[in-house]
Structure 1
Amino acid sequence: MADDNQNQISSRSSRIYDVVIFGASGFTGKYVVREALKFLNAPNSPLKTLALAGRSPSRLSEALKWASAPNPPPKIPLLTADTSDPNSLTRIASQAKIILDCVGPFRLYGEPVVAACVESGCDYLDICGEPDFMERMEASYHDKAAEKGSLVISACGFDSIPAEMGLLFHSRQWTGPSAPNRVEAYLRLESDKKIVGNFGTYESAVLGVANADKLVELRRSRPKRARPAIPGPAPPKGSIIEHQKQLDLWGLKLPSADSIVVRRTLSTLTENPHGLPGVNESDENRKTREAFWSTAKPAHFGVKLGSKSLLGLFPFIMFGVFLGLLSKVSLGRWLLLKYPSFFSAGGFRKEGPSEDEVASATFKMWFVGQGFSDSSLASQGNKKPDTEVITRVMGPEIGYLTTPIVLLQCALVALKERDNLPKGGVFTPGIVFGATDLEKRLQENGISFDFISVNSLSA
């Protein structure tokens, strides 16, 4: 086994490119390129060699010019690859340490890239927020990825790093014997211009709802995962809309990928209480990893969309109604995908947001946790939570600014700390990156993690 590990490490070190960005000319891809150029050959950066890949070299060239402006574009290889051509994907995967996949919807285009990376022993990170795709990849490729030494990690964008790292940050605020029971994240999008989402995200949502039954079937076909021990009873489901008095926000419950990814991370942690050992980690890193995960306190987790007014939630409620009614039939899906701006009240459009709209947008995600000042209180009959902790994660626009920042920092951690990460397998980002310096890196690149308050709750 040790020889196999050493051979895979040697193979990885001999690859031509540290990172290949696949789908570099797409809406999100070009922002990922712009973010990557900040770290290419920068002092103390492990990113020394970079290539861009996609179907059209001319479009890749245009994306590189855009991302480099106002400077002239650097000499970066432009590789031709297409999800319909497995050989082209294997070719780029065999030359790369890491592929950053920006081609969605991942339900339609993601699996061939994962397959090529696993076969080649190349690490794979993506910006997917599609639970069905992520769980199918785990079911289909985990064992082979573990054997081949390929780390496959989805949800390395706004979905779901702010939620995962934010929850871990929140968890550390419950010190001593205190413990959370439930944590609700309230996401508020802010801008002095119109907030416009990525059409790929919209398409993924339509296809996700349309194929929800397949995800249920997949879960039923797989062994049940371990569930973490959370002090106190499971919280009531609560209403779809509520007023959060502490934050003065109206919250709309979301069927969020974040909560699903968090649950998968907590299941993996329950099965591996000290985290996942690195392929060739130092004794110092092992101690750091074990100490970090010993502070993690699991909780029931959910996400809500926050708005200052009840009226502000109305467009999202209507979009949810349209999505539920129309996505199950082919004509309905065609209408939803043909007229995204109409059905989302302008929240999504095919051409995406303007650069000014991107630059003006920000997000705030509050984590409101309720639990017990002493976890032993939870077992005393119908004892209710007596403590509330509030933390917050903030950053720039979610789809084109925060997502590239997060994806690049995950890639830099994977390059620099590869020996301290698992040999291979299909995992969620939280369990792989939680004990690394990812949170510190995000703080240094415009995404803040803040403690807000701790309060006693009346009985």
Structure 2
Amino acid sequence: MEETRYDLIILGASGFTGKYVVKEALRFLSHPPLRTLALAGRNANKLTQTLQWASHPNPPPSIPILTFDTSDPQSLLSLCAQTRLVLNCVGPFRLYGEPVVAACVETGCDYLDICGEPEFMERMEAKYGEKAAETGSLIVSACGFDSVPAELGLMFNSRQWVDPAVPNRVEAYVSLESERRIVGNFGTFESAVLGVANADSLQALRRSRPRRARPVIPGPAPPKGGPLIEHQKKIGLRAVKLPSADSIVVRRTLTALTENPHGLPGVNEGVEQIEKRKAFWSTVKPAHFGVKIGAKSMLGVYRFITVGMCIGLLGKTGFGRWLLLTFPSFFSIGWFRKKGPSEDEVRSASFKMWFVGQGFSNSSLISEGNMKPDMEIITRVMGPEIGYLATPIILLQCALIVLSQRDNLPKGGVLPPGIVFGPTDLQERLQENGISFDVISKGALSS
């Protein structure tokens, strides 16, 4: 193994999201804990152009440019052996992610990515979880808009339920807003299409794995079914179910917490940190969790439904996937295009994620047979455009925590972000960098 030379290597730095990650990383470069940084990709010229773009109007700093090939295991091993931490922005992760994870696990370096693909995340956990724990490699996916706002947002809502109150269910409502037309990253669209194509593989993977403990949630399970379009008057949105990774990632964190009620111990944490970790997790109460996407008008909701049906139907066949990936703008009604959004479009966009929690003002009500929630708490996470601004902010703050607080984090393993970063100061760091957490209302539910 080569001697560790870098605190951080960004893989796929010249991609749509990668270049914004580089721009965010430069804000913290040369300040502990980020003293040394390298960029890695297949094309050195594109990486050089990315560095010039990210540092503008200042001259580009002297940062090493490294080339690698995901199809060459030795190339990846050499790359990972040189760094403490890899940030992977090369998607779709289903196609390109596993060799990077394998190299990180083999060399013992840590790994974060911005993946929102459940099948990839669960497959990596099944295949590399035990070895990562042995080698001390911390592998954490979904460290972007998928799925940190959902993870921390649920915990933030959950912690507002002060004993004897308990939550029963929390629904997250995502609202994307912009002064201009909202345009998404083609990679996100491609990942969604491939997710439909590989849905059977995900189900087969889950059936092949042993069943894990489920959290005990006070009160009844939410009713199945219900209206296709929901009208949430208190937050001013009409919404439909969003088949995102968020609910799956949150479920993995709640499962890990069920198996480890005090959280996961740090690799070398002190007594004070142990007490802090236990105190934090004692305030997090599990709840049924779901995600919906909302709009202020019915027209916006109908667009969500139309795009979802196109992906859901056409994504099941090879020809249908070809159509979707060849003509993304047409089949997404202009929401996704291959060249991505302009910088002005990115700057004009923002998100709000509302968490509507319902539960019981006193847990004793459940034992008395009162099974209908009587209390509601609404919280909100809010920030800039999700793919190119919020995601790099989140990823970099997760990275800085790994670099500066490694002793307080689990030794290794393939884990969701919530169980790793929940008891850290990640929420406070995000608030300092433009992503806010607010309590909107607390009150009784009318019977």
TM-score by length of 1: 0.96
Matched, 1:73 2:57: no
Q: How many residues align?
A: 446
Q: Distance in 2 between matches of 1:152 and 1:170?
A: 26
Match for residue 321 of structure 1 among 309, 331, 338: 309
What does residue range 54-453 of structure 1 map to in structure 2 within 5 Å? 54-237=41-224, 238-453=226-441
Match for residue 7 of structure 2 among 14, 18, 27: 18
Q: Distance in 2 between matches of 1:274 and 1:283?
A: 14
Q: Distance in 2 between matches of 1:88 and 1:38?
A: 29
8 A Cα contact 2:220 2:371, kept in partner: no
Counterpart position of 1:3 = none
How far the C-alpha of 1:383 sits from its partner, in A, is: 2.3
Q: Distance in 2 between matches of 1:375 and 1:141?
A: 40
How far the C-alpha of 1:382 sits from its partner, in A, is: 4.8
AA at the equivalent of 1:196:
V
AA at the equivalent of 1:300:
H
**What CA RMSD, in Å, does the superposition of the two structures yield over aligned residues?**
1.1
8 A Cα contact 1:231 1:379, kept in partner: no
SS at 2:364 equivalent: helix
Q: Distance in 1 between matches of 2:434 and 2:416?
A: 23
Deviations 1:311-341 (A, max 9, x none): 1111211111111211111100000000000
AA at the equivalent of 1:59:
K
AA at the equivalent of 1:315:
R
Identity of paired residues, percent? 72
- In the alignment, structure 1 segments of 5+ residues that lack a partner are 1-10
Q: Distance in 1 between matches of 2:312 and 2:157?
A: 33
Q: Distance in 1 between matches of 2:78 and 2:140?
A: 20
How far the C-alpha of 1:183 sits from its partner, in A, is: 0.3
Deviations 1:276-297 (A, max 9, x none): 0000111110000000000000
SS at 1:31 equivalent: helix
Q: Distance in 2 between matches of 1:439 and 1:165?
A: 7
How far the C-alpha of 1:84 sits from its partner, in A, is: 1.4
8 A Cα contact 1:101 1:124, kept in partner: yes
